[in-house]
A and B are shown apart, each in its own frame.
Chain A
Amino acid sequence: QDKVSVAAISGYFAQGFGVSIVNGLNKAKDEFGIDLKLVDTGNRALDYEEQFENLAKAKQYDLIFVMGWELVDSLQKVSKAYPDQRFVFIDGVLDNPNMIYANFAEEQGSFVAGALAGMIEAKGSEFPKIGDGMAIGFVGGRDIPVIRNFLGGYEQGAKYAAPDVKVNSVFAGTFDDPAKGSELAQALYGQGADIVYNVAGPTGEGVMQASAAVDKYSIGVDIDMCGTAPGNVLASMLKRGDIAVYTLIKDEVEGRKVAAGTRTFDLASGGVEVKVCDDIAPTIPADVTAKLDEIKKAILDGKIEIAKAK
């Protein structure tokens, strides 16, 4: 076998985290000249198993990256039917010992994002564009466990760093309606929130644009969103799907066959990180930066326990 060949299957290539995965795959393709196949599952549960079948039956892919919890059931079945096929399940850990897991600690990154937002909100009008609402906001896509996990970390972080700050959270019920995201964000801003964190894919783009429209702050997610509304995006909580797939493919290409087991992408490994936007960074007070570093360290040292959403 000379050329490494990988496939990736998901219904979310269009949205934040999925985009970062596609970026990673494309980077690997460009650098290593691998064969790459992307399969979009769409959103009908009936299709998934057939799509896995179609991929696995050819036996041509060294690795098949799988992203999305709704695929789990089909994935388990197909991996049983094709025990030799190596699947990489992204963003979670299942009970299947034959599988490779790339697990992300989004709650850690969200905790840091929440801490940052909380501390800045607590500054009140000392900080440009911040009012005295003592509230920050969160806009989720659909109200599903992964998104709840983000929210949980965010809330805990905010409470940890600034106990007086309230977190208002809302869900759009869809990842596809940026207009609704914009309205939701404006409702939150209207109710006194000054910083809104979005975990809502394209719906979240509406949140970022709303922050520019009312001149408040937003926090991006998954990929670097600082460019969408310069001056109004405080930071981006990066969930580095690109790093995950890239490193795995790199191992494979360099002859280290990726074996079953769990790989964790967290603060420690750089799999999640909070990137304060370059245009904002200079204005962040020193005490905030210092406290943030402290918190990160505490998380790395395991001193801060972050509860995961069920």
Chain B
Amino acid sequence: MFSNRMNVLYLLAAVFLAVLPFVYDSRSMLILLSQVFIFAVLAMSYDILLGYTGIVSFGHAMFFGIGAYTVGIFMKRFEPETSYFLLAVLVTILLTAVVSYFVGLLTLRLKSHFYAMLTLAFAGLFLVLAEKWRTVTYGNDGFTFRVPDFLKDRTDFYLICLGSMVVVFILLKRFTNSPLGKVLLAIRENEQRTESLGYSVLQYKVIASVVSGVIAGIAGILYAVSLRFVNTSVFTMDITLDALLMTIIGGVGTLVGAIIGAGIIEFSHHWLTALAKVHWIFERWIIFFGIIYILAVMFFPMGIVGSLKKLKFSRKKKEPASVNSDAVSQGKS
């Protein structure tokens, strides 16, 4: 269809972002953008669950937190060197894969809300673990740590985040466009029928949850490195909700939506708090933040990308091809 034109657009955007730090020198903008990229990775990983497999998880922070703590603990306990960092990445991938595999097996048999709440419970248990295992985690106050040299420079780190986001985007795009990805869509639509077409639903869901979990773990690593600090907040519901909101605002089942959603939330946050200093009306800027969510649903019911896509389709053709985001919205979640 128009995927070639889209690819060119994506490429342009990526190139633009890559040269940005060399032409526009604002480090706090770099930090903000790095933050956007990190959360975009997290939101994309969430989109694999929500948008492509049709499952709502309230426990996504679990994997994010595992990544953040792993790198934090490695850097604190051992030396902040590249080798240990890579080891931490490896361990994160392993841990998130194993945890998401077992949690997936245990939980994915459950229906919608029950699944969501069980994941919430597991994430909650990880939170308690981080709280209680104080010799390693220093409790909820958390701890700071040093990072290897190659991660120190903010510009380099910015590029690393951008790179990670691009790589994750490409990988997930391929993943969702693979034959397996199509089966995930089928599961989202009708589990039972997928089963009687000869696909083993649980296996697919577990695969989706492992892929999503590992990538969330990566996001967690980047997040912790960006702060050089980690505390129990990485395991809280807030993180999961952020991922959820970003995915939904951008448009579920689109991947780009997750990136755009991350951008919108981080930037509107940034601007609203800046406005708070300009005018007293914005002192309670959180109200306006809430209003943005509400308006987003009213004007972009399928998320920004989803709604734009739909608009485009209906102008172009009489018969719409599948508009993914709308699909999930039909209620199974």
B is bound to A: no
